[in-house]
Structure formats: structure tokens, C-alpha cells
Amino acid sequence: MAGSADTAPIVHIAAVDKVFAGREGGRTTALSAIDLDVRPGEFVSLIGPSGCGKSTLLRVIGDLVQPTRGSVSVNGKTAEQARKDRDYGMVFQAPVLFDWRSVEDNVKLPLEILGKDRAWRAQRAKAMLELVELGDFTKHMPYQLSGGMQQRVAIARALSFEPRILLMDEPFGALDEMTRERMNDEVLRIWEQTGTTVVFVTHSIPEAVYLSSRVVVMSARPGRITRIVDIDLSRPRSEESRETPRYFELITGVREALRAGGGDVDDAGTPSAARTMAEGAVG
Amino acid sequence: MSAAAGVAGRPAAGPSGPSAAVKAGRAVRGYAPAVLVAVGGLLVWELAIRLANLNAFILPAPSAIIAALIENWNGERFPLWQSAQNTIIEAVGGFLIGTTAGVVVAFAAARWGGMRALLLPLAIAANAIPIIAFAPLFNTWFGLLNPLSKMMMAAVLSFFPVMANVTRGLSGVDPGQLELMRSYAATQSTVLRKVRIPNALPYFFTALKLASTLSLIGAIVAEYFGGQGSVLGRMIVQSASALKFDITWAAVSLAAIAGIVFYLVIAAIERIAIPWHASSRSED
């Protein structure tokens, strides 16, 4: 489960700033003085209002965006080296599937790029698609799948080459609430089975609390970390976890941290709304 | 894979689609209205001319056109079949030259951003010129009697849509796909092979369909300005000046049929090559 406090961090972010140059010479500080350690096997969520830089921070970790100042090290390497070593599995809000490839071939794509042999690719694709419960859809084309199924293919693809770290950028943001809760359970199951480290961007408080070992609360303009909330709900988490008093306390805690940071809070984040949602899913 | 196209939006169904018989039935039903309208139109045409006793000078009846076609199929003065063959060779030759050049330039433009910045405005400007106006010049440059002068007209007309569309297809890739490839630390050549080229294929086929029509137009218009005798363009000009309009119509019909067949061949290749694309999926 979540690594103990004395384990060396797998991701170490120190004093990171990111400033984007605007069109008319203006400058936007997307990230300011970010310090964050992620321990191996941990599930860390980044939450905050739009424009708080949570996606930028995820991209800084994944070496898709270069920090203006500060340092990022992953497994003791630079983020760039980690990317070149294929330490990252990425899942975006859009599934980003390749229309011309079948479900199975989409999952095989990173393995082809890594130069894995044919038999291994087939074996991994089959195993990963079974893991996300799409074993019967290997030959389908992406357009034949629903949005939730497409996102599961994206997750299978991200896991196919056994990356050390899974970076997920609002992966379920486009899904309806019911599908989203099912996907949350699926991600937790996969995380528990694979033991991979997950950094997860979301703007849903219940989602962040339900999934995470720790929730990193961010605020906007400039994007900074205002609080880190430890989520001490017992594992494995399930439908019952969503009904415990502690779950609601934690949701309230994260919400208050967001308010204190000046963020707008998603209404679905209120305990009563979350409770209604949970009851709806059961009934 | 086209079998799977039948189950669009129904993920629960397996990848095997409806049976061949069902699909054939659907195809017949799909085309039936168009065929009926076409046949009906020809009948109305035929009847209108017979009833109104119109002069063949204005509009020959379909039956007269078909008769002229059969009569002059291997005719001495108007060898229509031989002419159609020669024109098709010019058009297809030009199509191949223009398409190849368009693809090569598009790859160069996609590879080197500077070249794209230089070429695209030029290409757009050049495309705005009515290139067909150059036909007499082409005859001078490449030889009036040399079929190459007609091929080059067809080639230039084919070049622009292919170049512009393939460039767009190669460079207009979903940024998310590029980000994903970057996270895999994929090389530029891998991105080209696995993302840019497949992404460009639908654009390429759209351009090929345009080019098929344009190349035939280019060849025939270039023929109007002179050259070897047995070509559809010459048949049309000469029969019209001899007031043999039934033969003119027969030659025009052959050109139309050639254009349609050319287009359908490309559409068929498209369906086989990119069954995953929306343009290839059967409507359901």
C-alpha cells in the first residue's frame, strides 16, 4: 500500500515554478514554489480549481512541460531521463485512441515503440484488456466503444509496458457520475494489483478522497500547494467506504482547504450530494 | 473489417457484422432511388424529344446518342473507343505524376516547418490561378503532339489538392496523440510512421477523389487546343464543328463514364485501405 514515511520518494519536486509567456508579452505564473514528494506505490491526487496548474504540475512530472525554475527528480533521475526510460504511463481526459488501430493494437502501440517482440505484445495486450474487463472487445475499433470503454482501453495501454508511475489527467472528467464511480473502483483494483505509483489530477472532491492516499490541494493564480490532506480511510475501499462518517469528514476537510485557497468548489463535492449519489448507485 | 462497420454505436455486438446477403440487400436499397431517378430522367428526356420533335441539333435523344456511340465505337473518322483509351492514359498518367509530386512535396513540407511556411502561401496563390488557362502554353512547352503535354496539365491540376490535403493530414495531428508519443519517447520517424501517415490517409483519399476528376478535366481541356487526333477532346471539338452532335454527346458520355469509374475505383481502394474511417463505414 502507501509507502511508509521513511521510504525514499519516487518523485521529488523541489521549488518548482512554471511561468508561461503570454501572447501580448504577459506572463502567467502557472506554478509557484511547488514542493512535493510522492512515495513509491502511493496514490496521490492533485485537486484544485481550474487554472490552479494541477495539469501543468502533472506534465512537469512527466517531462511534457519544462519547469521554469526548480528541480524534478524521478527515481533519482531527471524527469527527461525517466521519460526516456519509459517510466511514465499517461492517461488524459480524452482517451486519445488511434482510430486506425483496433482496441488490441492500441494497447500494443507502446510495446511496438519499445521494440517488444510480437508474442509478448499479444500476451500483454490480452492480459491488460482482461484487467480492464475488455477481454471480449480486442478486435473492436475505437469508434465502436462507449466513452468509458475507450478510457479503459487508454488505461490498459498506459499499463501495458509496466511503467513505474501512472500519470492520470482528469481521466474520468468526461464520464457520467455512475460510470465514473465504477471506473474509480476499477482504477483502485488495478492499482492494488500492479502496485504502481499513481499521480491523479481531478476536480472532483469525492473522487480524490475515495481514491487517494494523499490529496494535494492547490489554489490558483499563482498555482501553489495550499494543503496536503492524508486520507486515512481503510483499504481496500468499496461502496461502504463512501458511507462512512470518516469519508464525509475528509470530503469536508478537502473542501474547506479548497475554500481557504480561494477555489470554487464543485457542488458534487458536498457531503449531501455525495451521499445521494452513493445511495443512487446502491439503489 | 468492413463487416465491423455495420455495428457502429453498438459495442455489445461482436465484430462480425450482418451477413453478405443482408449487406448486398442494403446496398441495392441504398442505390435504388438514385438509379430510378437516373433511368426516369433518361426516359423523360427521350420522350420529351420525341413528343416535342426537337431538333437533334439542340439535344439528341438518349437513343440517338447510344446509336452514335455504337456506330462510331471503332469508327474511322471518330474512333471513340480508341480516343477514350488515349484520353484515359493521359489522365491517369497525369494523375500519377501529380499525385506523386504532391505527396513528395507534402512530406517535405511536413518535415521542414520552414518549407511549409514558404510553400503553403505559394500553393494557395498558385491554386487560385485558373491553371487550365495555361493549356495552350503546355502544348508549346511539352509538344503539341506529345501526350505528355496533356498529362502535365492533368498532373498540375492533381498536384495541388494532393499536396494541400496530405500536408494538412501529416501536420494536423491531435496534440494529445503527439503528447502520448512523447511520453513513450518515440522518435520522429516513429511518430511519422505510426501517427502522421495513418492520420493523413483519409485526407489523401479525399484528395485522390478530387484529383481523379481534375485529371480528366485537365486532359480533355488540353486536348481541345490540339494534339494527337484520337482523343476524346478532339472527338468533341471535331464532331461539334461538323455538327454531328450525337457523336459529341457520345464522346462526352464516354468522358463522364471514365470519370465516374475512375472515382469509384479510388473510393473502393479507400474502403479497403482505411475501413476504420468514417467515410468508409457503411451507414446504419
A156 and A189 part of one domain? no
Cβ neighbour number for residue B161 with a 10 Å cutoff: 22
Q: Indicate if A57 and A193 belong to the same structural domain.
A: yes
**A119 and A217 both lie in a single domain:** no
Q: What digits encode the pLDDT tens for the residues B138-162?
A: 988 999 899 999 999 999 999 999 9
Cell numbers representing residue B233 in the block: 477532346
Q: Name the residue ranges covered by the structural domains of chain B.
A: 1-54, 62-280
Residues A82 and A103 in one domain: no
Which residues, including other chains, have CB under 8 Å from residue B27's CB and lie 6 or more apart? Answer: none
CA-nearest residue to A62 within chain B is B183
Is residue A35 domain-resident?
A: no
Task: Establish if B12 touches chain A: CB-CB under 8 angstroms.
Answer: no
Each of the 284 residues of chain B gets a pLDDT tens digit; together they read: 333 333 333 444 444 556 777 777 777 788 888 899 999 999 998 988 888 877 777 788 999 999 999 999 998 999 999 999 999 999 999 999 999 999 999 999 888 877 778 877 887 787 788 888 888 899 889 998 999 999 999 999 999 999 989 999 999 999 999 999 999 999 999 999 999 999 999 999 999 999 999 999 999 999 999 888 899 999 999 999 999 999 999 999 999 999 999 999 999 999 999 888 877 665 44
A90 and A261 Cβ atoms separated by less than 8 Å? no
Cα–Cα distance between A280 and A271 in angstroms, integer? Answer: 14
Domain-ending residue, one of A108, A137, A162: A162
Cα–Cα nearest to A102, from A159, A146, A147, A150: A150
Both A79 and A99 in one domain: the answer is no
CB B15 within 8 A of CB B4: yes
**Into how many domains does chain A fold?**
2
Q: What are the tens digits of pLDDT across the range B215-246? A: 999 999 999 998 888 999 999 999 999 999 99
Q: Which residues of B touch A113 (CB under 8 A)?
A: 181, 184-186, 190, 194
Average pLDDT value for residue range A258-264: 73
Size of interface A-B (CB pairs under 8 A): 71
Domain closes at, from A105, A140, A162 = A162
Q: Which residues of B touch A101 (CB under 8 A)?
A: 276
- Spatial neighbors of A1 by CB under 8 A, at least 6 apart, are A41, A213, A235
Residue A253 · residue A19 · CB < 8 Å: no
Longest dimension (CA), chain A: 55
Residue A83 to residue B183, Cβ atoms within 8 A: yes
What does the block give as the cell for A254? 478537502
* Same domain, yes or no: A232 and A196: yes
Find the domain containing A147 and state its range.
91-162
Together in a domain, A212 and A115: no
**B194: nearest CA in chain A?**
A109
Q: Give me the phi and psi of B58, to 5 degrees please.
A: -80, -50
Last residue within a domain, chosen from A105, A128, A162: A162
**Which residues lie below 8 Å from residue A44, measured CB to CB, with a gap of 6+?**
A36, A38, A198, A199, A200, A212, A213, A214, A215, A216
Give me the residue label for grid cell 516513429: B190
pTM equals: 0.82
What CATH number was assigned to the domain covering residues B62-280? 1.10.3720.10
The cell numbers describing A40, all together, are 513509491
**How many residues in total does chain A contain?**
283
pLDDT value for A94 = 93
Residues A144 and A176 in one domain: no
A118 and A81, same structural domain?
no
